Amino acid sequence: MADKITIGRILRLLAISAKMDLVWLLRDTKYAILGIAGDMVNNVATVSGVFLIASRFGGIGGMSADEVMFMMAYSTLVTGIFIMFGAGNSIHISRIIGRGQLEHLFIQPLPLGVQLMTRGFNPFTGGGNLVVGTALMALAVNRLGLVITLWWIAQLIAYLITTMVIIIARSYLVSSMAFYAPAAAEEISSTAIDGTWFMSTFPLSGMPKYIQFPMLTILPEGLMAWFPALCLLGKPPLNLTAYYPMFFALAISLAASYIFKKGLRHYVQKGSNRYLSHGFRR
């Protein structure tokens, strides 16, 4: 019998995941700290590349070096939230599907969505980039002389949530392939998430429209940092409404939900035979 799902129940599940994360940190501190440091170094290296170029050339495509830093801070915050909620392949869902591990979730007395939402929460070992992102954001805001109001902070949170929704929805959309081709599509979410991460740090300002528009629609990397950052700076690009990312997030979520459910039905009927008797994947 499945538990009744309430906000309190979800918070308790998140607390269980957080507690397990803390236990790892306390029992295996050296390796946990190495993991945290690795995450932070990698992200700082990724975003600093673009920032260093902006510093070297005095800005990129009309964005000043400080505005580029603001965009990189936003990108780091997104990375931080992603890592904090994404442990255990909850967002890289094609790995779970492709490896035939959905069954592990089916036997739990909780809806699939609730499990996926709560099981990857690792605030202690996964929160490093969120801290770095917050510090970078404070620095960028200070250098740009932005006036911070409660409304601005609410907007920042709304954009961060929207960006996360787009990342997750796209991952689930493409991961639906793994229901039909578990071996071949096992890593498709890595292609969709990790493969595009670097691209999402590109400031698109100054590029031709035939590059900008596809990167806000077909391959929405412009919505991962560039568009929201410019909106938060009060300069929504391309004469689009500042709410465009929200509309896009809604559309891609609906598409992902439909396709994923269809794939799940196929999986439930056909199953997966990825494992050999001695444990290795086929």
Partner 1 sequence: MKKYLKTAHLSASEKTNGGIIYLFPDILIKIFTLIPLVYLWRVVMSSGADAGMSLGQMLTYTYVSALLADMLVVKTAASGWLSEGVLQRLYGRPLPVLSQLAAQTVGGWLPMLALFSLPMALISPLFGVRLIPASPLFFVSLLLCVALGFAVDFLFACLSIKLRSMNWLIGRMRMAIAAIFSGTVIPIRLLPFGMAEVMKYQPFASLGGAPLSVFTGVGDAGETILLQIVWNLVLWPFALYVWKKSQEGMVSYGG
Considering the complex, state which of residue 61 and residue 111 has its C-beta at the smaller distance from partner 1.
61
Dist. CA 161–CA 15, nearest whole Å: 20
Stretch that binds partner 1, among 152-160, 192-200, 233-241, 252-260 (CB under 8 A): 192-200
Our finding on whether 112 is near partner 1 (CB under 8 A) is no
CA distance linking residue 212 with residue 241, whole number of Å: 15
205 is a contact residue toward partner 1 (CB under 8 A): yes
* Residue 132 CB, nearest approach to partner 1 (Å): 13
| Other beta carbons less than 10 A from residue 196's beta carbon | 15
Q: Please tell me the count of residues contacting partner 1 according to CB under 8 A.
A: 50
Using CB under 8 A as the binding rule, whether residue 208 contacts partner 1 is answered as yes
Over the window 33 to 72, marking each residue x when it contacts partner 1 by CB under 8 A and - when it does not, the resulting string is: -xx--xx-xx-xxx-xx--xx-xxxxxxx-----------
Q: Does 131 bind partner 1 (CB under 8 A)?
A: no
Distance CA 225, CA 156 (A): 11
CB of residue 47 to partner 1, shortest distance in Å: 9
Site pattern 140..179 for partner 1 (x: CB under 8 A) = ----------------------------------x-----
Residue 5 Cβ vs partner 1, minimum distance, rounded to whole Å = 31
State which of positions 65-104 bind partner 1 (CB under 8 A). Answer: 99
Q: Does 123 bind partner 1 (CB under 8 A)?
A: no
Binding mask 239-278 for partner 1 (x = CB under 8 A): ---------------------------------------x
* Dihedral sign from CA coordinates of 256, 257, 262, 265: positive
Asked whether 75 and 47 are in contact (CB, 8 A), the reply is yes
| Chosen residue from 25, 114, 146, 207 binding partner 1 by CB under 8 A | 207
Rounded to whole angstroms, how far apart are CA atoms 61 and 58?
10
CB closer to partner 1 out of 140 and 156: 140
Taking the complex as a whole, the smallest distance from the CB of residue 226 to partner 1 amounts, in Å, to 11
Q: Which of 228, 66, 71 is nearest to 143 (CA)?
A: 66
Calculated CA dihedral for residues 214, 218, 222, 227, nearest 10 degrees: 90
Task: Please say which residue, 181 or 268, places its beta carbon nearer to partner 1.
Answer: 181
Interaction site with partner 1 (CB under 8 A) = 31, 34-35, 38-39, 41-42, 44-46, 48-49, 52-53, 55-61, 99, 174, 181, 183-185, 188, 191-192, 195-196, 198-199, 202-208, 211, 214-215, 219, 221, 278-281
